[in-house]
Chains A and B, each alone.
Chain A
Amino acid sequence: MSLKSVMSAAVLAVALLSAPAALALAPAEMVKLLATIDDRQRNGGDYKALVYLEQKEKDKTDTVREAFVYRRDADDKLMILFSRPKTEAGKGYLRLDKNLWSYDPNVGKWERRTERERIAGTDSRRADFDESRLAEEYDPSFEGEGKLGKYTANMLTLKAKQGVDVAYPVIKLWVDKDTTNVLKREEYALSGRKMRTLLYPRWKKLFSESKGADVWYPEEIRIYDEVEKANSTVILIKSIDLRSLEANLFTKAWLESKSR
């Protein structure tokens, strides 16, 4: 046996022996992973999506909505404007700085809402439509590896950073090892109670001129309410448009003008 083959055998042995340890992600790697997840979904410029929302509740007729989601990631701005059914058209949400405003053209009034507000009475929250800010808002820790259907995922537990207002202070995340897309997300209240489970079965990407790279988005999000077990929501992102938006779009005046 030549020295070279001994060396390579040794390298192989070391590699094999240390394999289990290598699976665990170092803190810096995890932060980087989160940053990657965030960055892939971010579009440097503007973003507009046509979204379908369906809410199922026990003993109730399904609630169905279509909405436009507008984002200006550079300024952390978000607006959701409902278009269908007719009775919901013109209602909307506007995130400005730390405020989440809701508007109802039927009454012509703005109301300040919280991060915990259910969007349009569904199980979705503002963050489900907003830009992903995991790295900015949470500190991760590693929980191991797990299988989810045909995928292998890294499991992370995220805890909200101090002073950051989020709907859920603890999140468990399943991130696909191959594609770095989020597959599953469990959200917990401060008390440790599980509140929601989200599944992301389909991801798509689209080349963005303004970013000069691909923008990723989950085409389908399934949300299961863990408190009211019978409740669930499906969000479909039907299409995405990355052209730039009007300058004054993220203002109360603009949203009001849509229903005038």
Chain B
Amino acid sequence: MGGHFRLLLQVAFRNLFTSKINLLIGGIIFLGTLLVVVGGALLDSMDSAMSRSIIGSVAGHIQVYSDESKDELGLFGQMGGEPDLAAVDDFSRIKPVLEKHPNVKTVVPMGTSGALITSGNTVDLTLARLRDLYKKRAESGETPGLRENIDSLKAHVRQMVALMEEEMAKSSVLLSDTARSPEEKEALARARSDAFWSAFESDPFGSLEFLENRIAPQIPDGDMLYLRYAGTDLDRFQSTFDRMELVDGQPVPKGQRGMLLSKFFYEQYLKLKTARRLDLIQQELELNKKTIARDPQLQRWVKENQTQTREIVFQLDPIKTRLAVERLQKVLGSQEPKLDKLLSAFFATDDANFDTRYKQFYAELAPLLELYRLRLGDSLTITAFTKSGYVQSVNVKVYGTYQFKGLEKSALAGALNLMDLMSFRDLYGYLTADKKEELAELQKQSGVKAVSREDAESALFGEDSGNTLVAEATPGLINDQDTLHGAMDSLRRDDLTKRVYSQSEIEQGVVLSAAVILKDPEKLQQTLAELKQSATDAGLKLRVVSWQQAAGIIGQFVLLAKLVLYAAVFIIFVVVLVIINNAMMMATLQRVREVGTMRAIGAQRGFVLGMVLVETLLLGLVFGAGGMLLGSGIMAALGSAGIPAGNEALYFFFSGPRLYPSLSAGNLIAAFIIVMVVSAISTLYPAFLATRVSPLQAMQTDE
């Protein structure tokens, strides 16, 4: 038997390099192995990069949320807004149940939601600041510093009114005069008059109301912005999720209310639009090697910077306007006195001057401007529709900006801003028992009869309704003063920003979900099942899901990407299988004479079968090893150099600007097994055919 096998091997080795067809098959196996090794390793590296992105940013390994939820959890949002989740009434009840499990390292409370925030227009914002100063003066008297601030803002407002009148004069040339009503013109003329400004101090609040109601609405440039936020225990979040890093500012002090805005969001939506466009152009030129001359998007940005200068012009008070004019004149070597014309000339950038202008903008103009609509350290007013349907507003101080490493450029992940749990709960508006009781009492006092919509008309207007269209009312004397007095014990905003919450205060209350970090992520599935069981045992109605499911839309995206890659590899294998099969058929047919001769001198069918199979397996072994070797080489090279992420989506998949793939023994073993199995399968039929060859048949075959 040993000699038998040696003979087979000898034949196989002899044929290995002499037969052209064998070389072809070898080549295919070589390439196939290379593909499996490289593709498999890349796929695995990407998979682990993506899961690291998601697990390390917000999801953790496991997410837990209420089983009474209508939708499934989607930490990165879902199509059509936030998923509808039922609240977990008290986080401190579910936390110990989860933490009891030996594989659970940390549990982080969470909740995501969103709100539209309004910025108000430029004039509105300036007037609001002026109003605040006058309020301060009314409360605690005037100081020289306050006076200076007031005067500077007043000058700024006057400047804005002057600009508006200029714009009006310009637009009335272009449009007909009807675009503005006579009342608007009249108001503008009054706000321009010296009489108005000299009388300003005698009734500042009256004057302000005139400006707020008659002047500010004339420039409709207020923005609505969708703000997506996750409320969480910020301290714990920061120490748990390693992908999260602070970019600017400082972390929210322990136990305090506050927010960290996503760097992506802050840059994209809160930065001065002109500056943002300059940044984007710079990035496209630098990173993606585009040119203004050829790229229409860049040309559009340049154009917008030239034409949309109002945001800058309105921002500057008279002193800063003078400075800006001087600096631009110097930079451009121009004598033009008008700021808007200077700006338009300054922003006329092309590939040659862009770098210089970009630097000049940040060196000369930016110091005069508010680059961001919201400075770090300022408060952001967030108004949200609460779960119970009413509107709730909260001021939250923005301490800094953060990003998830590897997700910096992902618009979905970048839309998530972090907020403390207390502010989140206020905005979520969970009704406590006290509040519910108060509402029920009000409802009872009202005596409103429930009327179903369908028969509302007959119930309200019918003979038995008891309603009449004519009745005498008793003259009412409504005492609003007493009612309002003492009712104002709603949350005081000053107290809220200063208060420090204890850990138990933070943990006792509503959350929407909780992230669970495991000690051993390998045991994810097992822990998932066990946590589910212990929640049921504890009488908690909880849904326990993996990070991939919890990531919602992004999780599905990851799954889809993986499926596509696997499908591609599978298709390639099917093709390889067919090619090898065909090549083997040809090889067998070519050797009909040889096989026939062998059979004639006494070779059994089994010997012929073995001969063909061993030959293929040897082919697989030799060329497969070659492919693996080259594949390992390629992976090693890629692993040290990294694959650059060419676009935004790849940043996410690569978990950073470059993917550093690695090759595992598993990849090699899988490739080896796949190659051998595929070779064997593709040879079976040709080998079977070869055994059917009879010596007679072989003799009859023409050479």
Residues of A within 8 A of B (CB): 48-50, 52, 54-55, 57, 60-66, 68, 81, 83-90, 96-99, 104-112, 120-121, 148-151, 176, 178-179, 181, 183-184, 199, 201-207, 217, 219-220, 222, 224, 229, 232, 234, 236, 238-243, 251-253, 256, 258-259
Chain B interface, number of residues (Cβ within 8 angstroms):
67
| Closest chain A CB from B640 CB (angstroms) | 54
If A106-B393, A121-B389 touch, whether A90 touches B488 (CB-CB below 8 Å) is: yes
**A-B contact list, 18 entries, CB within 8 Å:** A60-B387, A61-B436, A65-B442, A68-B480, A84-B442, A86-B438, A105-B490, A106-B393, A106-B394, A109-B128, A109-B381, A110-B128, A111-B383, A148-B457, A150-B462, A204-B472, A204-B473, A238-B476
Q: Do residues A89 and B488 form an inter-chain contact, with CB atoms below 8 A?
A: yes
| Closest chain B CB from A177 CB (angstroms) | 11
Q: Do residues B457 and A184 form an inter-chain contact, with CB atoms below 8 A?
A: yes
Q: Of the candidates B213, B383, B391, B439, which one forms a contact with A96 in the assembled complex, judged by CB atoms under 8 Å apart?
A: B213
User: How many angstroms from the CA of A99 to the CA of B555 in the assembled complex?
Assistant: 45
Q: Do residues A63 and B442 form an inter-chain contact, with CB atoms below 8 A?
A: no
B297 at the interface (CB under 8 A from A): no
If A107-B394, A112-B217, A179-B470 touch, whether A83 touches B480 (CB-CB below 8 Å) is: yes
Closest to A85 in B: B438
Closest to B448 in A: A234
User: How many angstroms from the CA of A250 to the CA of B574 in the assembled complex?
Assistant: 79
User: How many angstroms from the CA of A234 to the CA of B451 in the assembled complex?
Assistant: 10
Q: Do residues A121 and B431 form an inter-chain contact, with CB atoms below 8 A?
A: no
Q: Do residues A105 and B456 form an inter-chain contact, with CB atoms below 8 A?
A: no
User: How many angstroms from the CA of A181 to the CA of B490 in the assembled complex?
Assistant: 40
Closest to B222 in A: A112
Q: Do residues B490 and A151 form an inter-chain contact, with CB atoms below 8 A?
A: no
Within 8 A of A (CB), among B69-121: 118, 120
Q: Do residues B490 and A86 form an inter-chain contact, with CB atoms below 8 A?
A: yes
Tell me which residues across on chain B come within 8 A of A86, comparing CB atoms. 438, 487, 489-490
Q: Do residues B470 and A203 form an inter-chain contact, with CB atoms below 8 A?
A: yes
B522 at the interface (CB under 8 A from A): no
Tell me which residues across on chain B come within 8 A of A242, comparing CB atoms. 475
Q: Of the candidates A49, A97, A184, which one forms a contact with B213 in the assembled complex, judged by CB atoms under 8 Å apart?
A: A97
Q: Of the candidates A109, A202, A238, which one forms a contact with B468 in the assembled complex, judged by CB atoms under 8 Å apart?
A: A202
Q: Do residues B213 and A106 form an inter-chain contact, with CB atoms below 8 A?
A: no
User: How many angstroms from the CA of A64 to the CA of B469 in the assembled complex?
Assistant: 26
Q: Mark B438-471, 1 if CB is under 8 A from A, else 0.
A: 1100110010100101001110111101011111
If A89-B484, A106-B491, A202-B468 touch, whether A239 touches B476 (CB-CB below 8 Å) is: yes
User: How many angstroms from the CA of A81 to the CA of B213 in the assembled complex?
Assistant: 19
Q: Of the candidates A105, A108, A222, A251, which one forms a contact with B460 in the assembled complex, judged by CB atoms under 8 Å apart?
A: A222
User: How many angstroms from the CA of A86 to the CA of B212 in the assembled complex?
Assistant: 29
A68, A106, A120, A203, most chain B CB atoms within 10 A = A106
B18 at the interface (CB under 8 A from A): no
Q: Do residues B487 and A251 form an inter-chain contact, with CB atoms below 8 A?
A: no
Q: Do residues A63 and B390 form an inter-chain contact, with CB atoms below 8 A?
A: yes
B359 at the interface (CB under 8 A from A): no
| Closest chain A CB from B618 CB (angstroms) | 69
User: How many angstroms from the CA of A88 to the CA of B131 in the assembled complex?
Assistant: 24
Q: Do residues A236 and B448 form an inter-chain contact, with CB atoms below 8 A?
A: yes
Within 8 A of A (CB), among B118-134: 118, 120, 124, 128, 131
If A66-B442, A112-B120, A148-B461 touch, whether A121 touches B475 (CB-CB below 8 Å) is: no
Q: Do residues B493 and A251 form an inter-chain contact, with CB atoms below 8 A?
A: no
Q: Do residues B478 and A68 form an inter-chain contact, with CB atoms below 8 A?
A: yes
Q: Do residues B451 and A60 form an inter-chain contact, with CB atoms below 8 A?
A: no
Tell me which residues across on chain A come within 8 A of B131, comparing CB atoms. 252
Closest to A104 in B: B393
Q: Mark B374-394, 1 if CB is under 8 A from A, else 0.
A: 000000010101011111111
Q: Do residues B456 and A199 form an inter-chain contact, with CB atoms below 8 A?
A: yes
Tell me which residues across on chain A come within 8 A of B391, comparing CB atoms. 120-121
Instruction: Contacts A112-B222, A148-B457, A238-B476 known; list 14 others, CB within 8 Å.
Output: A48-B480, A52-B446, A63-B439, A64-B446, A96-B209, A121-B385, A201-B465, A202-B468, A204-B470, A219-B471, A222-B451, A229-B453, A240-B476, A242-B475
Q: Of the candidates A104, A149, A240, which one forms a contact with B461 in the assembled complex, judged by CB atoms under 8 Å apart?
A: A149
| Closest chain B CB from A243 CB (angstroms) | 8
If A107-B493, A236-B448, A259-B490 touch, whether A201 touches B460 (CB-CB below 8 Å) is: yes
Q: Do residues A61 and B439 form an inter-chain contact, with CB atoms below 8 A?
A: yes
B143 at the interface (CB under 8 A from A): no
Q: Do residues B443 and A54 form an inter-chain contact, with CB atoms below 8 A?
A: yes
B5 at the interface (CB under 8 A from A): no
Q: Do residues B490 and A64 form an inter-chain contact, with CB atoms below 8 A?
A: no
Tell me which residues across on chain A come within 8 A of B451, comparing CB atoms. 222
User: How many angstroms from the CA of A88 to the CA of B487 in the assembled complex?
Assistant: 9
Tell me which residues across on chain B come within 8 A of A120, comparing CB atoms. 390-391
Q: Do residues B490 and A106 form an inter-chain contact, with CB atoms below 8 A?
A: yes
Q: Of the candidates A60, A84, A109, A150, which one forms a contact with B389 in the assembled complex, judged by CB atoms under 8 Å apart?
A: A60
Tell me which residues across on chain B come within 8 A of A112, comparing CB atoms. 120, 124, 216-217, 222
Closest to B134 in A: A253
Tell me which residues across on chain A come within 8 A of B468, comparing CB atoms. 202-203
Tell me which residues across on chain B come within 8 A of A243, comparing CB atoms. 477
Tell me which residues across on chain B come within 8 A of A253, comparing CB atoms. 205
Q: Do residues B393 and A90 form an inter-chain contact, with CB atoms below 8 A?
A: no
If A54-B448, A105-B488 touch, whether A202 touches B439 (CB-CB below 8 Å) is: no
Q: Of the candidates B124, B439, B471, B484, which one forms a contact with A64 in the assembled complex, judged by CB atoms under 8 Å apart?
A: B439
Tell me which residues across on chain A come within 8 A of B477, comparing CB atoms. 241, 243
Closest to A109 in B: B381
User: How many angstroms from the CA of A87 to the CA of B216 in the assembled complex?
Assistant: 31
B213, B217, B463, most chain A CB atoms within 10 A = B213
| Closest chain A CB from B140 CB (angstroms) | 14
